[in-house]
Chain A
Amino acid sequence: MFIKQISVFIENRHGRLEEFTTLLGENGIDLIALSIADTTNFGILRAIVADNEKALRLVRDHGYTANLTEVLAVAVPDSPGGLAGVLTMLRDGSISIEYLYSFVRRVGKDAIIIFRVDQPEKAAALLQEKGVRLLSQEEIV
């Protein structure tokens, strides 16, 4: 129901993101989805990768602050109003979104949006009840 995302604290300084992605690349870690939330001083990089545990070990060993977060991978119809439909369901269920970002790949005709919400269990149940497909880790990597 949930998929794992790796979240990494990145200092806002020149070349730091490049260093990070190079580290993943050199260790054969494929970035499947990626989002960065930034502030003046730092950024939080969130990524979906094939081997979360390996990636977490690797980045911590290289001095990054990181953890794994559970998020929902939601299949959203790739048509106008597709995302709005899902957001309406969450709003009606009084679920707040911490953040979301879209996926590079598609599954069939659907776009994939990654959601982090305040009540993940409730959100998952609610969306599934409404016939919205949630993707598993295996399906997306």
Chain B
Amino acid sequence: MQQPSPHIWNKHVETMDRASLEALQLERLQETVRRVYQNVPVYRERMQAAGVEPGDIRSLKDLRLLPFTQKTDLRDNYPYGLFAAPQEDIVRVHASSGTTGKPIVAGYTQHDLQVWAEVVARCLGCAHVHKNDTVQVSYGYGLFTGGLGLHGGAERIGAKVVPTSAGNTKRQLMLMQDLGTTAIACTPSYALLMGETMRDTGMDLSKLKLRTGMFGAEPWTEGMRDQIQNLLHITALDIYGLTETMGPGVAMECMEGRYGLHIWEDHFIPEILDPATGEPLPDGEMGELCITTITKEGMPTIRYRTHDLTCIIPEPCPCGRTHRRIRRLHGRTDDMLIIRGVNVFPSQVEASIVGIDGIAPRYLLVVDRVNNLDVLEVQVELAPELLADEVRKIEDLSRRVQRSIEQVLGLSVKLRLMEPGSIERSEGKSKHVVDKRKLYD
């Protein structure tokens, strides 16, 4: 048997034999289920309705007795309804897009932040990033989990962290060169933008020490990986996570395998479901990823439906880690879009435009990638009755609609008013999205 990779952060856990790992999972699952049953009325009521008690979870297979959790549950119980820890123990909140006007909120205890830093530290190990590295975090800092999530992990391993956040590309590149950044974390589209800016400004790549990049928060293809690697002369690796289960760091590709992302099974139990029936599928079959958090205190999520399509790769990885891998994301089972790293649901747009005089609640989102920057155009139909025939007033209306959408999405959009009936419908159901980007292989 090959020696495990020397880059592994937590050799004890990451290379734990499957039987011990599964025993640990069961113990933690039972504890989590007991805790949500006691502390979260929504979970208790659901379990009672399904006729399940915490004591019924005797093996990992019993996980499937538990009801699913959906994003709508987070919305319906906004903001704190699914928190399982006392409010005084919550030390941080993050937020992500909901499906309507309100975001969804996640709460973290001190212990949750430690676990988060631990799993991100493992991800950095996957990318061969160590304490001697300089890690530039070019994910946005704030309610979005990207920036602070990577930051915590990079500090944990003792690397030098450069918290540039996203944006101001030329300054990012200047700092990257001057500070000797060796590893970068951001969205893959932002990495491409940086690479192209370097090329276009004639930056001398030999002056950079950049070696590796961890890219996530949006889907990307092998083609994009090649482009990023060629432009930046680095190894580009995929990192996965979502606010509902923690943030980035739930799973990560390793340098040795570069195929599939190790999901940290001592903290998250993955299941792959048939998206239509919700029935678990065997390893290797493509379906919807469903995640149960088994160590989270602030906001545990039981059988959370991610709507991300992937499959489990059960074969051992050359790196020696025993945690199974999920394949690079294959698509979505719902209509969620990820635009510049921000999750966008068409229903959010709908919620933000209903009730505005002069327009009909018919809309189409057209997403494109122009010079590696996602551009969202929202087309909105006018009501048959023209409110005013002065250009100025119609432009005012257009701006009002635009602001209303931007406030809900937290993303700048281009608004286009359309004639009634011009947005295509099929079988009575409006089509809401045209995505011209190529995001999945």
A binds B: yes
Point out residues on A near B: beta carbons under 8 Å.
5, 7-11, 37, 39, 41-42, 44, 46, 60, 63-67, 69, 98-99, 116
Residue interface bits B371-401, CB-to-A below 8 A is 1, else 0: 0000000000011111101110011001000
Find out whether the CB atom of B395 lies under 8 angstroms from the CB atom of A9.
no
Asked if B419 and A65 make an inter-chain contact with CB atoms under 8 angstroms apart, the answer reads: yes
A37 CA / B390 CA spacing, docked (Å): 8
Q: Which of A9, A39, A63, A69 has the most CB atoms of chain B within a 10 A radius of its CB?
A: A9
Cβ contacts under 8 Å, A69 to chain B: 389
User: Once the chains bind, are A67 and B420 in contact (CB under 8 Å)?
Assistant: no
Q: A11-B422, A42-B417 known; A66 and B395 CB under 8 Å?
A: no
Q: Are A99 and B390 in contact (CB under 8 A)?
A: yes
Q: How far is the CB of B18 from chain A (nearest CB, A)?
A: 59
Of the candidates B384, B395, B418, B419, the one having the most CB atoms from chain A within 10 angstroms of its own CB is: B419
Contact A41 B391, beta carbon cutoff 8 Å: no
Q: Is residue B410 contacting chain A, with contact meaning CB distance below 8 A?
A: no
CB of B390 within 8 A of CB of A65, answer no
* B421 at interface, CB cutoff 8 A: yes
Q: Which among A9, A11, A60, A65 has the highest number of chain B CB atoms within 10 Å?
A: A65
Q: Which of B276-294 contact A (CB under 8 A)?
A: none
Given contacts A44-B391, A67-B386, 6 further A-B contacts (CB under 8 A): A9-B382, A42-B394, A44-B394, A63-B421, A65-B419, A69-B389
Using C-beta atoms within 8 Å of the partner chain, give the interface range for chain B. 10 to 19
Known: A11-B418, A11-B419. A66 touches B390 (CB 8 A): no
Residue of A nearest to B418 (CB): A11
Residues in B with CB closer than 8 Å to A41 are: 398, 416-417
Task: Answer whether A7 and B417 are a contact pair too, CB < 8 Å, given A39-B391, A44-B394.
Answer: no
Contact check, A63 vs B419: say whether CB atoms are below 8 A apart: yes
| A-binding residues in B (CB < 8 A) | 382-387, 389-391, 394-395, 398, 416-422
* Contacting pair A66 B418 (CB below 8 A): no
- The residue that B420 contacts in the complex, of A42, A64, A98, A116, with Cβ under 8 A, is A64
A9 touches B422 (CB 8 A): no
- 17 chain-A/chain-B pairs, Cβ below 8 angstroms: A5-B389, A9-B382, A9-B419, A37-B391, A39-B391, A39-B395, A41-B398, A41-B417, A42-B394, A44-B390, A46-B389, A63-B421, A65-B383, A65-B384, A65-B419, A65-B420, A116-B390
CB distance from A57 to the nearest CB of B (A): 11
* 10 pairs of A and B residues whose beta carbons are closest in the complex: A7-B389, A63-B421, A65-B382, A67-B386, A37-B391, A65-B386, A98-B390, A69-B389, A60-B384, A11-B419
What residues on A are CB-neighbors of B416 within 8 Å?
A: 41
A9 engages B385 (CB within 8 Å):
no
Instruction: Give complex CA distance A47, B387 in Å.
Output: 16
Residues from chain A with a CB closer than 8 A to the CB of B384 are 60, 64-66
